[in-house]
């Protein structure tokens, strides 16, 4: 009798633990996890739409436009389509969090849209403009396809890793990355840098500077799959505050950004990318010095 009683208690313990696990699960079932919430997914669809249009405009600038001025206009518009995709990418997650309407479907849909807008579109843009076998520098003509593919591959891997480490069904996934940081360079920032530099090249005839664009693409590709932490602004809200001096400085920066918009995008993305990179180097250096001091 005592053995049967113990077995019953063990069974109850297993059922209780399974119920506790069920309570802790973020979604009740597959149906709830795959809900399509209208407003957040509309922004994600907008992200995908602008990425697709950017690809079409790049093809138009490469094969349809008859003059260099027309091609420059097509590439400029493609840049703004990529930046518009980035804006949609910012708002889809923010709207979902504000409304408490996050779903696994939305996260996967967002990553697919990001691969198109921040992977395929900027890679094709640089390929058509600089790395095509029929134009550009002799060395890049031979490896242009490889540079574009490496960038696209790293963007896809970075987005897949993001989905894994933020998966709510994996225990401890929320402990890998701080809420206010990204692990690795975000794909929209990498695409923004590439697109904004193309904006400079086509509007100021900086073809000589374009020589450094493919190596910069490879650097951003590596940063995307690295473990370098980058600051995230997704938790900025209407309740965020700042001092009066910082507020005035922000107004001045925004005014300068609008006035010199052709340069501003590139400057902003370069500062963001290298800020995260050198900040991580500084932290690593300090950590090594601290360990060396403890050993001595």
Cα 5 from Cα 258, distance rounded (Å): 75
pLDDT at residue 61 in the model: 86
**Residue 77: which pLDDT band, with cuts at 50, 70 and 90?**
very high
Question: Could you tell me the two tokens for 115?
Answer: 């691969």
pLDDT at residue 22 in the model: 43
pLDDT at residue 193 in the model: 92
Give the range with max mean pLDDT: 19-33, 37-51, 199-213: 37-51
pLDDT at residue 261 in the model: 81
Give the range with max mean pLDDT: 13-22, 38-47, 61-70: 38-47
Cα 58 from Cα 271, distance rounded (Å): 26
Q: Locate the domains of the chain by residue range.
A: 37-295
pLDDT at residue 20 in the model: 39
pLDDT at residue 181 in the model: 81
The count of residues in the chain is 296
Residues 101-128: pLDDT tens digits?
677 788 888 999 999 999 999 999 988 8
Question: Could you tell me the two tokens for 210?
Answer: 């374009």
Question: Could you tell me the two tokens for 177?
Answer: 């990355």
φ, ψ for residue 139, nearest 5 deg: -65, -40
> CA nearest 78: which of 92, 65, 91, 94?
65
**Residue 30: which pLDDT band, with cuts at 50, 70 and 90?**
low
Concatenating the DSSP letter of every residue in the chain gives -HHHHHHHHHHHHHHHHHHHHHHHSS-SSHHHHT---HHHHHHHHHHHHHHHHHHHHHHHHHHT--SHHHHHHHHHHHHHHHHHHHHHHHHHHHHHHHHT---HHHHHHHHHHHHIIIIIHHHHHHIIIII-TTSS-HHHHHHHHHHHHHHHHHHHHHHHHHHHHT-TTSTTGGGTS-TTEEES--HHHHHHHHHHHHHHHHHHT-TTGGGGHHHHHHHHHHHHHS--EEE--TT--TT----HHHHHHHHHHHHHHHHTHHHHHHHHHHHHHHHHHHHHHHHHHHHHHHHHHHH-
Residue 43 has pLDDT above 70, yes or no: yes
- Between the two ends of the chain, the Cα-to-Cα distance in Å is 64
Q: Say which residue, 189 or 20, is predicted with more confidence.
A: 189
For domain 37-295, give the CATH superfamily. CDP-alcohol phosphotransferase transmembrane (TM) domain (1.20.120.1760)
pLDDT at residue 32 in the model: 63
> At which residue do the structure tokens 């990001």 appear?
114
């Amino acid at each position: 009798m005592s053995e049967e009683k113990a077995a019953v208690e063990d069974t109850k313990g297993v059922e209780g633990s399974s119920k506790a696990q069920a309570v802790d699960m973020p979604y009740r079932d597959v149906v709830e996890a795959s809900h399509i919430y209208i407003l957040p997914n509309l922004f994600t669809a907008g992200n995908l739409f602008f990425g697709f249009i950017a690809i079409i405009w790049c093809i138009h600038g490469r094969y349809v436009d008859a003059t260099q001025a027309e091609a420059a206009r097509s590439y400029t518009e493609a840049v703004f389509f990529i930046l518009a995709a980035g804006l949609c990418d910012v708002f889809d997650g923010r709207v979902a969090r504000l409304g408490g309407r996050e779903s696994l479907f939305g996260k996967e849909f967002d990553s697919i849209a990001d691969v198109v807008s921040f992977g395929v579109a900027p890679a094709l843009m640089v390929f058509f403009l600089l790395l095509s076998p029929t134009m550009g520098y002799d060395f890049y003509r031979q490896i242009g396809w490889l540079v574009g593919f490496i960038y696209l591959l790293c963007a896809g891997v970075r987005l897949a890793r993001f989905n894994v480490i933020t998966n709510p069904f994996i225990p401890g996934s929320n402990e890998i990355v701080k809420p206010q940081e990204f692990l690795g360079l975000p794909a929209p920032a990498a695409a923004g840098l590439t697109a904004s530099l193309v904006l400079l090249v086509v509007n100021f005839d900086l073809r000589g500077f374009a020589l450094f664009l493919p190596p910069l693409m490879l650097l951003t590709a590596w940063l995307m799959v690295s473990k370098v932490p980058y600051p995230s602004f997704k938790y900025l809200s209407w309740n965020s505050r700042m001092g009066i001096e910082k507020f005035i400085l922000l107004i001045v920066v925004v005014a300068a950004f609008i006035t010199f918009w052709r340069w501003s995008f590139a400057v902003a993305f370069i500062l963001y990318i290298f800020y995260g990179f050198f900040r991580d180097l500084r932290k690593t250096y300090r950590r090594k010095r601290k360990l060396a001091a403890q050993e001595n």
